[in-house]
Chains A and B, each alone.
Chain A
Amino acid sequence: MIPREIVDFLSRASVAVLSTRDAAHAPHIHFLSGWQVHDDLESVVCLVPASFTDRLAEGLAPAGRIAMVAEVIGPHETYQLKGRYLEHRAAGPADRPVFHACLRRFVSGVQDHLKGRYCEDDLAARVHEPAVALRFAVEEIFLQTPGPAAGRRVFPAGA
């Protein structure tokens, strides 16, 4: 089960990115338009915009290995979740609240941190409409907040 602190963290995170890799072990990056811990508390649902679905299928085909990094902009609080692809579907109306919540957190996170360096419209334009909802099982979680503890595994417990 995903630790409570990580569930809370993901509900506060302002940006998140997924990585996959193809059969030749070349990695690919997919910026996310939204993310949410699934009701099973074992997996995460990621909303991928059409602009970042290129190579997604080939990235999931060989072994379905996934790495997701998420950050709270400002304090640089960052975790990486690693796991295995479970399923995907077309994004739909039910995903809109998650998309809009993540969009709001990104815009306010950057504006609060960078004090008006970018306008709201420019920031909002970076979070594209979701096209695919992908779910992966979380197997490991690593702290990535910059500093001496970066890289420490925080899940599974006791690892």
Chain B
Amino acid sequence: MASVLPAEIRPVLDNGVPLVLATCSADGEPNTTIISQAHYVDDEHVALSFQFFSKTIRNVRENPRACLCLNDILGRSYWLLDLEYERSETSGPIFEEMDMQIEAIASVTGMSGIFKLKAADIYRVLGVRKI
């Protein structure tokens, strides 16, 4: 399994289609959630938004492993990324760009004002599979 993001995944990350994120608590309880965006950081990292104190946020801080599924509808494929949480950023270019994208998505979906970015959580890519 590859651990570097291929170039062809960039447009999929930007296609605006919701993604699925799975995490797991330290005591082994999986959690699944639908998220609005994932941000390309470099070919070994993606950033996910931290907007609410959720089970997902708690899980990755006690067990850093995660799995992300991207939807490429036009390409008729899925991408599965095995991830490991590394750190959170509350300022800087990644944070600022994600904050703007979240507001843009919120306004399009009629949820402006509901979402507020607390941090950009940075994950290292452990593996990439195309289905």
Q: Are B24 and A25 in contact (CB under 8 A)?
A: yes
Q: Does B4 contact A (CB under 8 A)?
A: no
In the bound complex, do residue B80 and residue A29 qualify as a contact, i.e. CB atoms below 8 Å apart?
A: yes
| A-chain residues with CB within 8 Å of residue B55 when the two chains form the complex | 151
Contact among A82, A125, A146 for B111, CB-based, below 8 A: A146
Chain B residues near A65 (CB, 8 Å)? 28-30
The answer on a CB contact under 8 Å between B67 and A27 is yes
Chain A residues with CB below 8 A from B29, complex form = 65, 67, 82
How many residues belonging to B are interface residues under a CB distance threshold of 8 Å?
34
Interface string of B43-61 (1 = CB under 8 A from A): 0000000001011000000
The residue of chain A having its C-beta at the shortest distance from the C-beta of B66 within the complex is A27
Distance in angstroms between the alpha carbons of A20 and B109 in the assembled complex: 30
Interface check B131, CB cutoff 8 A: yes
Does B71 have its Cβ within 8 Å of any Cβ on chain A?
yes
With the chains together, A146 CA to B36 CA distance in Å?
10
Minimum CB distance partner of A63 in chain B? B28
Q: How many A-B pairs with Cβ below 8 Å? A: 100
Q: A residues within 8 A CB of B26?
A: 25
Q: How large is the interface on A (under 10, 10 to 19, 20 to 34, 35 or more residues)?
A: 35 or more
Interface string of B75-117 (1 = CB under 8 A from A): 0101010100000000000000000000000000101001100
Measured CA separation A54–B29 after assembly (Å): 19
Contact present for B30 and A66 (CB under 8 Å): yes
B residues less than 8 Å from A24 (CB atoms): 65
B9 interface contact, C-beta 8 A: no
Interface CB pairs A-B, < 8 A, 17: A19-B22, A19-B31, A25-B26, A25-B63, A25-B65, A26-B67, A27-B66, A28-B67, A29-B32, A31-B20, A54-B129, A69-B20, A69-B34, A76-B109, A78-B34, A80-B31, A125-B76
